[in-house]
Amino acid sequence: MPSRARRTDPAADTDAAHVAALYERIYRVARKIPRGTVATYGQVAELAGIPRGHRVAGAAMKAVKPSHRVPWQRVVGKRSRGVAQVNIKDPVGGAIQRKLLEKEGVEFTKTGGIRLADHGWLPPGA
């Protein structure tokens, strides 16, 4: 029986390449966030050229592998004006993120917030 060549869907390949390119843009921004500071998902997406792309940034952070060398813990959710928070719903993952941030000097309020005036990152020229 002759072997059949496996056919791939060109549209799926194109979609995967597009997502990979978006994620790499997000990772490039996240790599610039200095120790002891944080940026929100929306801010990272905006800086990556993806307006209103906070969910894409969240998905990208969820997909980070150690080989990507991305400081994922520095990308956090926005709670309210001037306050961010750890948004990982998994209690273990959220505790790990908080511990990593505290180790870098990020302080949390009693309610788990991060004051962006104290720890928010603004890139040069922003």
Domains and CATH numbers, the chain: 13-119 (1.10.10.10)
Helices (H) and strands (E) in the chain, counts: 5, 4
- pLDDT by residue (tens digit) across 68-115? 999 999 999 999 999 999 999 899 999 999 999 999 999 999 999 999
Angle between helices 54-62 and 10-30 (to 10 degrees): 90
Give the confidence band of 123 by pLDDT, cuts at 50, 70, 90: confident
**3-class DSSP state for residue 51?**
coil
Distance CA 60, CA 58 (A): 5
Residues in CB range of 68: below 8 A, 6 or more apart: 27
CA angle 79, 28, 68 (to 5 degrees): 95
- For the whole model, what pTM was predicted? 0.87
Residues 6+ away with beta carbon under 8 Å from 105: 35, 36
